[in-house]
A and B are shown apart, each in its own frame.
Chain A
Amino acid sequence: MLEARTEERSEIEEVARRIRRDIVTSTTAAGSGHPSTSLSMVEVVTRLYFGGVLRYDPADPHNPDRDRFILSKGHGAPGLYAVLAEAGYFPVDDLKTLRKLGSPLEGHPNMARLPGVEASTGSLGQGLSIGVGHALAARLDGRDLRVYVMSGDGELEEGQVWEAVMYAGNQGLDNLTFIVDHNKFQQTAAVEDVLPLDPLDAKFKGFQWEATTIDGHSTDEVAKAFDWARGVSGAPQAIVANTVKGKGVSLLEETPESWHGKALPPDEAEKALQEIGA
Chain B
Amino acid sequence: MSLGLSRIDLPDGAPPREAFGEALAEAGRDERIVAVDGDVNNSTFTSKFAEKYPDRFFNVGIAESNLIGIASGFSASGKIPVAASFAIFLLGNAFDQIRMSVAFPNQNVKLVGTHAGISIGEDGPSQMAVEDVALACALPGFTVIVPADAASASAATRAMLEREGPSFLRLGRSKVPVIYEDGADFQLGKANRLRDGDDLTIIANGIMVAMALDAAEGLAAEGIEARVLDMHTVKPIDTAAIEQAANETRGIVVAEEHLAWGGLGATVSMVVAERRPTKMAFVNIGDTYATSGKPEEVLAQFGLTPDAIIDAGHRVLKD
Report which A residues bind B (CB closer than 8 A): 64, 110-112, 118-123, 125-138, 140-141, 159-160, 163-164, 166-167
Nearest-CB distance from B92 to chain A (Å)? 15
Q: A129-B65, A163-B63 are in contact. Are A134 and B58 (CB under 8 A)?
A: no
Q: Say yes or no for B105: interface residue by CB 8 A criterion.
A: yes
Of the 9-residue stretches B66-74, B178-186, B251-259, which lies at the interface with chain A?
B66-74
Judged by DSSP, the binding face of B is helix
What B residues does A136 contact at CB under 8 A? 58, 70, 73-74
Identify the closest chain B residue to A130 (Cβ).
Answer: B73
Residues 52-78 of chain B: 1 if any A CB is under 8 Å from the residue's CB, otherwise 0?
A: 000110101101011011111111111
- The contact string, 1 if C-beta is below 8 Å from chain A, for chain B 164-207, is 00000000000000000000000000000000000000000000
Which chain B residues lie closer than 8 Å to A130 at the CB level? 69-70, 72-73, 76, 101
Distance in Å from the Cβ of A34 to the closest Cβ of chain B?
18
A-contact bits for B70-98, CB 8 A (1 contact / 0 none): 11111111110100000000000000110
Is B100 an interface position by the 8 A CB rule?
yes
Which single residue of chain A is at the shortest CB-CB distance from B64?
A: A163
Question: A126 touches which one: B74, B101, B106 (CB < 8 A)?
Answer: B101
Is B35 on the interface with A (CB-CB < 8 A)?
no
Knowing A120-B101, A120-B104 are in contact, say whether A133-B74 is a contact too (CB < 8 A): yes
**Interface residues in B, total, Cβ within 8 A:** 30
A121-B101 Cα distance, complex, nearest whole Å: 8
Q: Once bound together, how far apart are the Cα atoms of A64 and B68, in whole Å?
A: 21
Given contacts A132-B66, A132-B69, A133-B71, contact A118 B97 (CB under 8 A): no
Checking A112, A122, A131 against B106 with a beta-carbon cut-off of 8 angstroms, the contacting residue is A112
Is A123's CB under 8 angstroms from B96's CB?
yes
The chain A residue sitting closest to B104, CB to CB, is A120
- Residues of chain B within 8 A (CB-CB) of A127 are 69
- Taking A137-B78, A164-B66, A167-B66 as contacts, is the C-beta distance between A111 and B105 under 8 angstroms? yes
Tell me the minimal C-beta distance from B104 to chain A in angstroms: 5
Q: Compute how far the CA of A163 lies from the CA of B70 in the bound complex, rounded to whole angstroms.
A: 11
B34 contacts chain A at the CB level, 8 A cutoff: yes
- Kindly list chain A residues whose C-beta atoms are within 8 Å of the C-beta of B81: 133
Q: Are A160 and B65 in contact (CB under 8 A)?
A: yes
Contact between B79 and A137, CB atoms less than 8 A apart: yes
Contact of B61 among A120, A128, A167 (CB under 8 A): A167
Closest to B99 in A: A123
Contacting residues, chain A, for B79 (C-beta < 8 A): 137, 140
Residues in chain B near residue A128, CB distance under 8 A: 69
Are A126 and B77 interface neighbours, CB within 8 A?
A: no
A127-B69, A130-B69, A163-B60 known; 7 new pairs, CB 8 Å cut-off, are: A119-B105, A129-B97, A129-B101, A133-B69, A137-B77, A140-B56, A163-B65
- When chains A and B are docked, how far (Å) is the Cα of A166 from the Cα of B68? 15
In the complex with contacts A140-B34, A160-B65, A160-B66, A134-B97 CB distance below 8 A? no
